[in-house]
Amino acid sequence: MRIVFFGSPGSGKGTQANELATGYSLTHVSTGELFRAKVLDSTRIGRRIGDTIAAGSLVDDITANYVLFKAIEGLNRFLVDGYPRNVAQARMFDVHLDNMGTKLTCALFLDVPIEVAEERLILRRTQRHDKVENYRRADDAPAVIHHRFDVYRKQTKPLIQYYSDRIIKVDGTGSPTEVTHKIVKALRKWE
Ligand code: ADP
pLDDT tens digits, one per residue of 116-132 = 998 888 887 766 655 54
Q: Are 3 and 25 in contact (CB under 8 A)?
A: no
- Ligand 1, atom 9: nearest CA belongs to which residue? 32
The amino acid that residue 23 corresponds to is G
User: What is the average pLDDT across 179-190?
Assistant: 93
> How high is the pLDDT of residue 129?
55
Ligand 1 proximity of 38 Cβ (cutoff 6 Å): no
Residue 184: which H helix or E strand, with range?
Answer: helix 176-190
Distance 58 CA to ligand 1 centre (A): 6
Q: Are 34 and 45 in contact (CB under 8 A)?
A: no
- Ligand 1, atom 2: nearest CA belongs to which residue? 9
| Range in 60-74, 94-108, 122-136, 148-162 with the lowest mean pLDDT | 122-136
Task: Provide the edge-to-edge strand list for the sheet that holds 27-30.
Answer: 27-30, 78-81, 2-7, 106-111, 167-171
| Cα–Cα distance measured from residue 137 to residue 122, given in angstroms and rounded to the nearest whole number | 11
> How high is the pLDDT of residue 124?
76
Closest to 85 in 3D by CA, of 44, 46, 123, 57? 57
Residue 34 lies in domain: 2-190
Q: How far are the Cα atoms of 58, 60, 113, 188 from residue 10, in angstroms, in the given order?
A: 16, 22, 10, 25
Distance 64 CA to ligand 1 centre (A): 9
Give the CATH number for residue 150: 3.40.50.300
Catalytic residue among 2, 124, 125, 169: 124
Ligand 1 proximity of 58 Cβ (cutoff 6 Å): yes
Closest ligand 1 atom to 55 CA: 16
Closest ligand 1 atom to 8 CA: 4
Number of domains comprising the chain: 1
Closest ligand 1 atom to 33 CA: 6
> How high is the pLDDT of residue 87?
98
DSSP line for 36-52: HHHHHT-SHHHHHHHHH
| Size (the chain), residues | 191
Per residue in 121-178, pLDDT (tens digit) is 888 776 665 554 444 566 677 888 889 999 999 999 999 999 999 999 999 999 999 9
> How high is the pLDDT of residue 190?
79
Angle at 159 between CA 155 and CA 162, to 5 degrees: 130
| Cα–Cα distance measured from residue 21 to residue 132, given in angstroms and rounded to the nearest whole number | 26
Bridge partners (DSSP) listed for residue 108: 5, 168
The amino acid that residue 11 corresponds to is S
To test the ligand 1 pocket, which listed residue (18, 139, 149, 152) has its Cβ within 8 A of the most ligand atoms? 139
Percent of the chain whose predicted confidence (pLDDT) is above 90: 79
